[in-house]
Amino acid sequence: MLRPAFSARSLGNARARRAAGAAGRVVPLPRGRPDQPARDLRTPRGARRADGGRGRGPAPRSAPPPRRIGVVRAPPRRHRRGRAPLGGRRGGAARPRLADRERTASFSIHPARRAHRLPSVSTDRTAVARVLEQIASYLELKGENPFRVRAFRTAAKAVTGLASEPSEALADGTLAATKGVGSGTLSIVKELVEGGRSELLETLREEVPPGLVEMLGISGLGVSRIRTIREQLGIETLTDLEAAARDGRLARLPGFGGRTADNVLKGIGFLRGAQAFRLCHHAAEEAETLRAALVRIPGVTRAFVAGEVRRRSEVVRELVLVLVAEVPAADVFRALARLPGMEEVEGQDERRVTLRSPGGMAARIVVTPPSNLGAVLVQATGSEAHLERLAAHAKTRGHALDGAALWRESGFVPTPDEAALYTALGLAEIPPELREGRDEVARAAAGPFPRLLEPGDLAGFLHCHTSWSDGTLSIEELAVACRDAGYSYVGLTDHSKAAAYAGGLSVESLERQWAEIDAVNARLTGVTVLKGIEADILADGGLDYDDATLARFDFVIGSIHSRFAMSEDEMTARILRAIESPWLTILGHPTGRLLLSREAYPLDLERVFEKAAALGAAIEINADPHRLDLDWRVLPRARELGVTISIGSDAHNRGGIANMAWGVGIARKAGLVRDEVLNTRSAEGFLDFARARKAR
């Protein structure tokens, strides 16, 4: 039985276990030629080497242990400023010194030095909208005027939908003229653009207990309930909330009960497992900001984002960046520590440091000479399991791959790029998204990979919302924006009548919308708008329009937006019945997960895939980076069973158009190629698929 595979909580626990097991004694690295990396010869204390010895000295060159650069390290121990030399003690382990043997104190930054200041934020649309949303949540928790709260949320939506970045919109006056942006919210945006901070947000963070904000991440606990918990029980932390849920105090509150208490306990567990992670798009934004800062360091010629971001993982625990430098790594590290916003800079060895980025993420920075970029970038990108398989393959070829370089008996093997490393190992180049430790190394040994799906392959922009329901753009604005982004057709899917909370469309509203679509299609060239809907799948599996109405749509996406607390059998039966409807073209966000917020509902995906394949229904990869549902881990099974896959943006504003790239990333992680994705077809090809579905 195939079930939703991804859990942020289980992933976090597994990572923690690996990190705990990775701690070990570190020995000083030997010197090499200046154009070659020092060889990574680490062996955990007491671990037995291939030669039978214990881990207190370098292993023989003929059998170097593979260095697993993808391992997540335990957080560094904080020392008093100026008291922790780079080669000093950390948890009983000696650390290697920099090449010039200088002390960490010459470039480390103690976190207390900037503890009184919040880091400045990025000022792109996403970041500014996030600040406005945060302010709204804080105001709501304080019990402020609901109209003021709504003003900030409306402004956040408006900023996300801007055609340009906030700085440009502020300068040319379009921001002030944007519907939904008032004088108060305009001043906040101006403050962010000019200074990178909001005084109001900083004040609210001081006034509102942080535990209350954390509670907002628990599914089913809204602001009103959180305020009740605080007022009735005096609870302000997750720890106290957990205790109240366990001892019965929470269940005894009016309107709560035992089921709510159980759900709160489950939500707390999920939240704690997710707290170490960031959503992929936020992490990628932070990584690019960091990369742009690091590449300006004197002596650094290139900078690459690696790690989970490069692999297009749904959630990211640690940023990894590789710097190519023509100066000693120690010089790079000292310059790095002087950059604004860099916190907790600590040396790991002669070529690695860890730090806290300006946005608060853990980051690992690796410095390499140009001659070794390929080996370092490959190892900084792959998962731990992938690197283990790659190292094992290298050994069969008479090579050794460790955390520093590629070696053979005759010595160091230059790898100026990744292609050079793969060629030396007799492998086809492995796409970064596939480097997860499955069968990719064996496949690379057998021959080249097929060309994976690319963003430019998509002709149709599917699953999108306009101002007719809960989107911010008009039909024409969305169509023009999609045409400008390279799409030839737009599959419009506003919410259906059951979604009253999202401005769902009545049958009468549909008639008016269809007339507007006809008018837009008559005016525009280069893009066609299709008449679709995101229909709610009701509790019994039915869709929320009658057959006569459903038959008039060009296509229908069916999605679940309510009644998540069903058993696996009930939820599976509900979705199977929906797929049996000939009007359902695509099953939308099929497992209902919200990354780092809500787990997938229990579902027998094997039966769902079999039914969809048999009846010719497509299943969506929802490209909203908060969802990325269907999970890439189960997509290969869907493909094996013959399921057609579509990619839908779930865009509600102009910024959502960029979501499609994240959906393509998930498709690439599953190894999908162009012909396996529905909306790579032309508009007529897509409509043929929908018509064939109706005829079944």
Nearest-angstrom CA–CA distance, 691 and 684: 10
Fill in the amino acid letter for 125: R
pLDDT at residue 33 above 80? no
pLDDT at residue 489 above 90? yes
**In contact, 420 and 414? CB cutoff 8 Å:** yes
SS3 helix, strand, coil % of the chain, rounded to 5? Answer: 45, 15, 45
Identify the CATH assignment for 278-446 out of 3.40.50.300, 3.40.50.720, 3.30.460.10, 3.90.1150.10.
3.30.460.10
Q: Which residue has the tokens 């993420």?
A: 361
Amino acid 50: pLDDT: 39
For the chain, give the percent of residues with pLDDT over 90.
Answer: 59
pLDDT at residue 132 above 80? yes
Topology (CATH) of 125-274: DNA polymerase; domain 1 (1.10.150)
Taking residues 2-27, report their average pLDDT.
Answer: 41
Nearest-angstrom CA–CA distance, 26 and 24: 6
Cα distances from 312 to residues 292, 318, 358, 362, in angstroms, run: 19, 13, 22, 17
- The conformation of residue 454, written as its DSSP 8-state character, comes to -
pLDDT class of 142 with cuts at 50, 70, 90: confident
pTM of the entire structure?
A: 0.75
Amino acid 161: pLDDT: 79
Determine which helix (DSSP H) or strand (DSSP E) holds 482, and give its type and residue range.
helix 475-484
Nearest-angstrom CA–CA distance, 387 and 403: 10
Cβ neighbourhood burial of 376 (10 Å; 0-12, 13-18, 19+): buried
pLDDT class of 1 with cuts at 50, 70, 90: low
**In this structure, how many other beta carbons lie within 10 angstroms of the beta carbon of residue 517?**
23
Highest mean pLDDT among 240-254, 339-353, 516-530: 516-530
- Of 273, 275, 257, 274, nearest in space to 220 by CA: 257
| Residue 157 vs residue 667, higher pLDDT | 667
Least confident of 82-91, 169-178, 284-293, 557-566: 82-91
Backbone angles phi, psi at 301, to 5 degrees: -95, -30
Nearest-angstrom CA–CA distance, 578 and 611: 10
pLDDT class of 18 with cuts at 50, 70, 90: very low
Domain 278-446 identical in fold to domain 455-694: no
pLDDT at residue 682 above 90? yes
pLDDT class of 124 with cuts at 50, 70, 90: confident
Nearest-angstrom CA–CA distance, 689 and 616: 8
Amino acid 69: pLDDT: 28
Nearest-angstrom CA–CA distance, 117 and 112: 10
Determine which helix (DSSP H) or strand (DSSP E) holds 390, and give its type and residue range.
helix 384-396
91-97: long-range contacts, CB 8 A cutoff, minimum separation 24: 91/23, 93/23, 93/24, 93/25, 93/26, 93/45, 94/25, 94/26, 94/27, 94/28, 95/26, 95/347, 95/348, 95/349, 96/26, 96/27, 96/28, 96/29, 96/349, 96/350, 97/28, 97/350
Q: Which residue has the tokens 């990211």?
A: 316
From first CA to last CA, the distance across the chain in angstroms is 27
How does pLDDT run across 421-465, given as a tens digit for each residue? Answer: 999 999 999 999 999 999 999 999 999 999 999 999 999 999 999
Topology (CATH) of 455-694: TIM Barrel (3.20.20)
Torsion of CA 306, 311, 314, 320, to 10 degrees: -10
Determine which helix (DSSP H) or strand (DSSP E) holds 337, and give its type and residue range.
helix 329-337
**In contact, 599 and 568? CB cutoff 8 Å:** no
**In contact, 121 and 359? CB cutoff 8 Å:** yes
- Of 204, 262, 272, 349, nearest in space to 10 by CA: 272
Tokens of 423: 């060629």
pLDDT class of 163 with cuts at 50, 70, 90: confident
Tokens of 186: 């305009």
All residues at 6 or more sequence positions from 380 whose CB lies less than 8 Å from its CB, including other chains: 69, 70, 304, 306, 307, 320, 322, 364, 366
pLDDT at residue 118 above 50? no
Amino acid 121: pLDDT: 53
* Average pLDDT of the residues of the chain: 83
The structural domains of the chain, with segments of one domain joined by +, span 125-274, 278-446, 455-694
Fill in the amino acid letter for 11: L
How does pLDDT run across 643-663, given as a tens digit for each residue? Answer: 999 999 999 999 999 999 999
